[in-house]
């Protein structure tokens, strides 16, 4: 059963509408919020482009800061921007640090007792929200692509690689490419997934998934700033590139190193046009 969505706000933008919704999530056992951009009425139902935000963000950051709406409008794309985690679940420690808990769902389905009731962002994004959008809005249910930033870039890659054929393309800005081997990943995976079975961690590692991926071909675009403070210790894009190069029959990665850019929305807004047009090319193919 698809949950009822409640309209919170509406704003006109580029002739279309930016809307914010809330709904009760079965996956996360709490209220969740998301934004959409509905392009102006067209003769055909728009394809869907889903963006996953990074650490500390919510459903508002990308839709207001990235400059994406103009290009979604020009390419007749229905843009979806969900939150990054459950909120207000009253779990001890969920608000203690910026890189774990609230704002840091890491797009996993938690298995540890403390977190498994609420922290199920993988299923929320790939199943629950997917079904809500397809049923509640006038969109092309067969045309979806996905992208994200940092933690959300990791989530986008993981969801695309674990669901062959569901997304026409995937891209990322500065994704966490090898979370089993960085401090952000170690902190979140050990708490959400436990330490007894590290194979659970590998289900959410883009580089491991890419190396082993055998599904339908996927084109991947990644932009990485060379002045990103997190580049060497947390993001490790070279590991993803090596994995994709070892699997050329199934994956084609374009990793672009952008000189002088760091990890923020100035970086994202500079290259957002490229990413949306990349997805539009795949989504608008017959």
Looking at 150, 169, 171, 207, which residue is catalytic? 150
- Return d(Cα 248, Cα 241) in angstroms, integer: 11
Paired sense of beta strands 30-38 and 77-82, if any: antiparallel
Looking at 171, 228, 275, 279, which residue is catalytic? 228
Burial class for 127, CB neighbours closer than 10 Å (0-12, 13-18, 19+): middle
Looking at 23, 35, 149, 263, which residue is catalytic? 263
Is residue 95 part of the annotated active site? The answer reads: no
Is residue 149 part of the annotated active site? The answer reads: no
Beta-strand (E) ranges in the chain? 6-13, 16-25, 30-38, 47-52, 77-82, 144-149, 170-173, 218-225, 251-258
- CA triple 279-282-285, angle to 5 deg: 140
- Return d(Cα 231, Cα 260) in angstroms, integer: 12
Is residue 263 part of the annotated active site? The answer reads: yes
Measuring CA to CA, how many Å separate 167 from each of 47, 73, 161, 164, 275? Answer: 11, 20, 9, 7, 15
Point out the residues that are catalytic. Answer: 150, 228, 263
């Amino acid at each position: 059963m698809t949950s009822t969505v409640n309209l919170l706000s509406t704003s006109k933008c580029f002739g279309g509408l930016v809307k914010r919704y809330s709904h009760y999530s079965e996956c996360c056992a709490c209220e969740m919020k998301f934004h959409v951009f509905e392009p102006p009425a067209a003769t055909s139902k728009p394809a869907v482009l889903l963006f996953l935000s990074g650490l500390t963000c919510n459903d508002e950051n990308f839709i207001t800061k990235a400059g994406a709406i103009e290009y979604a409008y020009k390419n007749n794309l229905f843009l979806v921007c969900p939150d990054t985690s459950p909120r207000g679940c009253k779990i001890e420690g969920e608000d203690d640090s910026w890189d774990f808990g609230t704002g840091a769902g890491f797009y996993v389905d938690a298995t540890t007792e403390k977190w498994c009731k609420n922290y199920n962002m993988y299923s929320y994004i790939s199943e629950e929200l997917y079904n809500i959008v397809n049923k509640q809005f006038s969109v092309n249910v067969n045309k979806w692509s996905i992208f994200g930033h940092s933690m959300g870039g990791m989530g986008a890659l993981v969801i695309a690689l674990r669901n062959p054929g569901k997304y026409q393309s995937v891209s990322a800005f500065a994704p966490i490419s090898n979370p089993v081997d960085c401090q952000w990943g170690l902190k979140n995976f050990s708490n959400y997934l436990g330490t007894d079975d590290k194979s659970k961690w590998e289900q959410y590692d883009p580089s491991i998934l890419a190396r082993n991926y055998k599904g339908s071909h996927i084109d991947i675009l990644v932009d990485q700033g060379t002045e990103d403070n997190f580049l060497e210790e947390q993001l490790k894009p070279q590991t993803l590139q090596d994995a994709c190069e070892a699997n050329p029959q199934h994956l084609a990665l374009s990793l672009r190193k952008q000189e002088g850019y760091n990890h923020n929305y100035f970086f994202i807004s500079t290259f957002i046009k490229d990413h949306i047009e990349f997805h539009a090319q795949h989504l608008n193919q017959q």
